[in-house]
């Protein structure tokens, strides 16, 4: 089924744009269909219902992030692994700003639509990040007087806030050097506070 996946992607892409503009609640199936250039009845051949579209979007986001993080676990140093997370957000933002927008505005904070599955993604993300921090603490790269989980909060908090600010002002990231500058800013500020001092 090659075509099937393409069509699903077409729908998800359209859904992304509409949800970005109107939010999940405000996004109507008819809007999504129109944006995708198909009839709205057809959406139901590919997705059980509106919820399923949202789930697919969420899943897409997390799966990519997890894959990227896990790939680095074996052979990456702490800096590289943290940078990896940052770049996942920044690259995603560059290529699919709508997706990041939705992550920031609809996924990352909402307790409303939170179900077991979605909560699970978060926990996993926290755990994967915790593991980086714990590795850093263990190898004496990061300070040892703060719990890994707290470092995770600081790191992800800073990252999210930066990205949120970019989302809010619709910052363009076409210039790669700007992207690198932002990435290292986030990293350095965090490390400055979190690195072990001698």
Partner DNA sequence: TATGAATGAGGGTTCATTCAT
Partner DNA sequence: AATGAATGAACCCTCATTCAT
Tell me the torsion sign for CA atoms 85, 89, 92, 98: positive
The interaxial angle of helices 78-95 and 50-73, nearest 10 deg, is 150
- Tokens for 51, please give them: 């919820």
Piece of 27-35, 60-68, 105-113, 162-170 that binds DNA (CB under 7 A):
27-35
Distance CA 117, CA 59 (A): 10
Q: Tell me the closest approach of the beta carbon of residue 118 to DNA, in angstroms.
A: 17
Which residue in 21, 51, 70, 188 binds DNA (CB under 7 A)?
51
Q: Tell me the closest approach of the beta carbon of residue 88 to its own copies, in angstroms.
A: 17
Distance CA 151, CA 50 (A): 36
3 state DSSP class of 53: helix
80 interface partner picked from its own copies, DNA, none, CB below 5 to 8 A per type: none
Q: What is the DSSP letter of 79?
A: H
185 interface partner picked from its own copies, DNA, none, CB below 5 to 8 A per type: its own copies
Unique residue bearing structure tokens 């744009």: 17
Q: What share of the chain is helix, strand, coil (3-state, %, to 5)?
A: 80, 0, 20
Q: Which residues would be at the binding site for its own copies (CB under 8 A)?
A: 20-23, 25-26, 101, 104-105, 108-114, 119, 122, 143, 146, 150-151, 153-154, 156-162, 164-165, 167-168, 185, 189-194
Which residue in 5, 21, 23, 44 binds DNA (CB under 7 A)?
44
Q: Tell me the closest approach of the beta carbon of residue 51 to DNA, in angstroms.
A: 6
Binding site for DNA (CB under 7 A): 1, 3-4, 7, 26-30, 38-42, 44-45, 48-51
């Amino acid at each position: 089924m090659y075509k099937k996946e393409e069509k699903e992607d077409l729908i998800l892409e359209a859904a992304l744009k509409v949800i970005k503009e109107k939010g999940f609640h405000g996004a109507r199936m008819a809007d999504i269909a129109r944006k995708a250039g198909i009839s709205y009845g057809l959406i139901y051949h590919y997705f059980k219902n509106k919820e399923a579209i949202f789930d697919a979007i969420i899943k897409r986001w997390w799966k990519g992030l997890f894959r990227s993080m896990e790939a680095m676990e074996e052979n990456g140093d702490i800096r590289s692994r943290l940078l990896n997370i940052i770049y996942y957000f920044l690259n995603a933002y560059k290529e699919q700003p709508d997706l990041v927008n939705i992550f920031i505005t609809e996924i990352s904070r909402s307790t409303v639509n939170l179900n077991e599955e979605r909560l699970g993604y978060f926990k996993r993300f926290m755990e994967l990040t915790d593991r980086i921090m714990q590795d850093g603490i263990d190898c004496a790269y990061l300070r040892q007087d703060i719990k890994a989980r707290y470092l995770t909060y600081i790191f992800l908090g800073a990252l999210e806030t930066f990205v949120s600010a970019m989302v809010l002002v619709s910052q363009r990231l076409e210039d790669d050097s700007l992207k690198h500058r932002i990435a290292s800013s986030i990293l350095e500020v965090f490390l400055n506070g979190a690195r072990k001092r001698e």
